[in-house]
Amino acid sequence: MHRSTDRPTLRRRLIAFGALLALAVTTGVTATSASAASSSVYFGVGSKSIATPGDGGRVLYVSTTGADQYTYEVSWGKKTVNRYECLRLKSTDRATCPPASSGAPLRTIQAGVRSAQPGDVIVVRGGTYSEAVGWGAVAATKSLPIVLQSHPKERVDVRGTLSLELASYWTVRGFHFLYNSKIQTGQAIVYLQGGTGWTFTNNEVAGSTGVANVMVLPGTRTGSVAARKAAGPHDYKIALNCIRDNRGDDTHGMDHNIYVMAGIYSSGGFIERNLLAGAPRGSQIKAAGPYQSASSDSPHGLTISRNTMLGGASGVTVGLAAQYVRINQNLVANPAGSQQWDGGVKIWELQRQDLTSVKQNLFAGYKAPVYGASSALVTSGNVSSGTIAYEGSIANCTAKAKDLRVRSTYGQLSGL
C-alpha cells in the first residue's frame, strides 16, 4: 500500500445545512423537489418487467425447481444431455432439446448463461442460488443484447460470484449477490472484465472479504495496443445498485466497494446513482491500478456521478495513471476511521492531476474533503459540512439523506 504524507491542501470550511441551497445556486447546482422524481428511474433491487428479446431471441427461464439435464429415448435406450449444449445452438428439436420455458426451466443461472445467444433474455425465478455464474458467456451486439434478470417481484439471491469476461452488450439486473465463503475465494464477488456496452444495474452486492465487492478489469493485459483497446471495457455502466459492507481485513486503504482497474485503454465508464456504504478499510470507489508496476490498470474516461456514499474511509480514490476521471454531484458522508490518510476524494500518486475534476460534491464529516491534491487538480463548487443524518437502512438498501435539500441536490436521488 502507498500512503501520501502530504498535508491536505483543499480543506473546505464547514457550511451549515441551512446555507446549502444558496451555495448550490451560486455554484450552478439546481435543487429539485423529490416530488418531481422521474417515474422512469427505478431504485430498487429487482426487475420491474421482463425485457423484450431481440429479433430471433428467446426468453430462457431458470428456477430452483428446474433441471439442467434432459433424458430422452434413443434406439439403444436412454440418453441424458446437458441442456445448455443444444440450447446454445438454438436447436428446435423439442424431442431432444425442450426450450427453457416457464414450465420447463433450467436449474442453475450458469446453465442459462451458457445457453444464451445474442437477443436472448434469461429470467431467473425467485430463490437462492449458490453458484459461480458467468463463465462461458458469449458476447452480444448492440442490436441484439443479452439480458440476465430476476423475475419481476421475486427476490433472487446469488450466494456466490458473477464473473463476466468480454460480455459485450449484456445487462445484469435485479439480483442480490451475497458473499459465500465456499465459493468466493478470490478478490471480489462480481468481476466485470473488458467488453463494450454492458450495464450492471438494480443489483445488491454485499459482504465481500476481498479487496472489492465489484471489480472492473481490462479485457486483456497482453498483446498489441490495438488488441488491448478492442478488449475494453468501453461504454460501460454501473448504475442504481446497492453495493455495501466490504468486510475485508487487509491493510488500511485496501478494501473497497467498487475497484475500477479498467486499464489505460478503457473509455466511457459511468458509475452513477448507486448507494455505496460500508468500506471502513478503503474507498467506496477506487479508480487506479493496484501499485506502480501495474499502473496501466488505471482507468481512462470514467464519470462518477450522483452516488450516495456512506461510511467509507475515503469516498473516491484516484491514482497512478488514471486520466479523464470526473467526480460530480456525489454525496460523500459520514467517514469511518481516523481519516489520517483519507478524504472525501483521495489523490494517490496520481500522475496527471489536471485530467481529474472534482465538482459540485458534498463532503460531510471529512477532515480533508480532498486529500493529497496539488493545485493542478480541477475543482469547483464543492461543499463541506459536518456529518449528516440519514433515514432508511443500509442493510435494506434504502438509506438516504434525511434532509430533503441535501438529497435533492447531491447523491443518488439528486436532480430527479
- Domain regions of the chain by residue span: 17-68+98-407
Question: Three-state SS for 110?
Answer: helix
User: What string of DSSP letters covers 235-304?
Assistant: S-EEES-EEE-----SSTT--EEEEE---TT-B-EEEES-EEEEEEEEEEEEES-SSGGGGGGS-EEEEE
CA distance 29 to 22: 10
CA distance 366 to 384: 8
Query: Digits of tens for pLDDT over the chain (416 positions)?
Result: 333 333 333 333 333 444 444 444 333 344 433 333 345 789 999 999 999 999 999 999 999 999 999 999 888 999 999 999 999 999 989 889 999 999 999 999 999 999 999 999 999 999 999 999 999 999 999 999 999 999 999 999 999 999 999 999 999 999 999 999 999 878 999 999 999 999 999 999 999 999 999 999 999 999 999 999 999 999 999 999 999 999 998 888 789 999 999 999 999 999 999 999 999 999 999 999 999 999 999 999 999 999 999 999 999 999 999 999 999 999 999 999 889 999 999 999 999 999 999 999 999 999 999 999 999 999 999 999 999 999 999 999 999 999 999 999 999 999 98
User: Which cell is 240 given?
Assistant: 442504481
Question: Three-state SS for 55?
Answer: coil
User: Which cell is 165 given?
Assistant: 469476461
Closest CA to 365 of 345, 339, 386: 386
Question: Three-state SS for 125?
Answer: coil
Q: How many alpha carbons fall within 13 Å on the CB side of residue 98? A: 17
Q: pLDDT value at position 11?
A: 38
Largest CA distance in the chain: 82
User: Residue 226 CB: number of other CB atoms within 10 A?
Assistant: 9
The torsion of the CA quartet 407, 353, 296, 276, rounded to 10 degrees, works out to: -10
> Domain 17-68+98-407: which topology?
Pectate Lyase C-like (2.160.20)
Burial bucket for residue 247 (CB in 10 Å: 0-12, 13-18, 19+): middle
Question: Three-state SS for 286?
Answer: strand
Q: pLDDT value at position 184?
A: 80
Q: How many alpha carbons fall within 13 Å on the CB side of residue 135? A: 4
Question: Three-state SS for 114?
Answer: helix
CA distance 345 to 293: 23
Q: pLDDT value at position 251?
A: 82
Closest CA to 357 of 368, 343, 347: 347
Q: pLDDT value at position 186?
A: 80
C-alpha dihedral sign at 332, 281, 132, 103: negative
